[in-house]
Amino acid sequence: MQGQPPPVPDPRGVHQYRTAAGQGQMLRIMLGTAIALSVVLLARALAGYLKGDPYGAAVAEDAEGAVLLGALAQTFWTFLYVGTGLVYAGWMYRAAKNNLALGATGPTWDPGWCWGGWFIPFANWVIPFLVLREMWKASDPGTPPGPGWRSAPIWAGITWWWVLWVTVALLQIVAFTAGFAEAFRTGISTGVARDPDLPGWLHLVDAATFALLVPAGFLAMHYTRLLEARQATRRANQHEIPM
């Protein structure tokens, strides 16, 4: 009829649903490995600080070997940390696309922000949190297709994860800045914030970083499980969605 707005196309006919469970399982394995390694590095940092020797070299027969082992563990953790972040961004992208396939319309953050939000300095402290909040609400099984998901409640664990994430980022900046300044002042060239000659409080900052990454990792793992379950339930309630 004339005077009526054109019908809005159903997003479920535009976007294809593909389960994120496989990516989620890989992500949880990587998160679990990162958590376990963080616990080891935390214990090592605390033990070294209490003994006045961050690497534990004073109690080892091979001091250089102890330093090398610590450096290798830290390097492996860094690569694992970066790799987990990339897999997490990929999982978020797939889950965000699935929300569109399940009928959620009008997102503020389109799926591309699941990647881009992590690579903008300082904005990456906020954008992933906002994307995760929106993804959670859009996956609510109790809301029909359309924009009604905006009024859905969010899981409090998302906020706690964000607080931990920002705190870890701030601690890393403090450790790097102070460690670099101290290394420059004393002429140290063997490392930043982890050299045995650096102030002990920097090693405590390091320990605090690993300590906070443990609950942050568990919250991230739990979020992925919950969101996958919410999407599966939402899809099961919409039998007209093709496999």
Q: What is the rounded distance in angstroms from the CA atom of residue 65 to the CA atom of residue 72?
A: 10
Which residues are CB-neighbours of 166 under 8 A, at least 6 positions away? 125
Asked whether the predicted pLDDT for residue 73 surpasses 80, the reply is no
Write down the mean pLDDT value for the chain: 81
| Range scoring the smallest mean pLDDT among 33-37, 76-80, 191-195, 232-236 | 191-195
Q: What is the rounded distance in angstroms from the CA atom of residue 116 to the CA atom of residue 182?
A: 34
Q: How confident is the model at residue 64 (pLDDT cuts 50, 70, 90)?
A: low
Residues, the chain: 243
| Range scoring the smallest mean pLDDT among 49-63, 76-90, 108-122, 153-167 | 49-63
**Mean pLDDT for the stretch of residues 69-86:** 84
Instruction: Name the percent of the chain lying above pLDDT 70.
Output: 73
| Predicted TM-score (pTM) of this structure | 0.80
Q: What is the rounded distance in angstroms from the CA atom of residue 78 to the CA atom of residue 66?
A: 18
Domain boundaries, the chain: 19-236
Rg (CA), the chain: 22
Under 8 Å between Cβ of 57 and 243: no
Alpha helices in the chain (DSSP H): 21-50, 63-101, 113-116, 127-138, 156-186, 200-236
Comparing CA positions, the residue from 28, 22, 19, 219 lying closest to residue 99 is 19
How large is the greatest C-alpha to C-alpha distance in the chain, in angstroms?
A: 88
pLDDT in tens, 148-171: 999 999 999 999 999 999 999 898
Selected residue with higher pLDDT from 73 and 171: 171
Q: What is the rounded distance in angstroms from the CA atom of residue 19 to the CA atom of residue 101?
A: 11
| Range scoring the smallest mean pLDDT among 26-35, 144-153, 165-174, 195-204 | 195-204
Under 8 Å between Cβ of 137 and 149: yes
Asked whether the predicted pLDDT for residue 30 surpasses 50, the reply is yes
| Range scoring the smallest mean pLDDT among 32-46, 95-109, 152-166, 189-203 | 189-203
Helix (H, G, I), strand (E, B) or coil at 146: strand
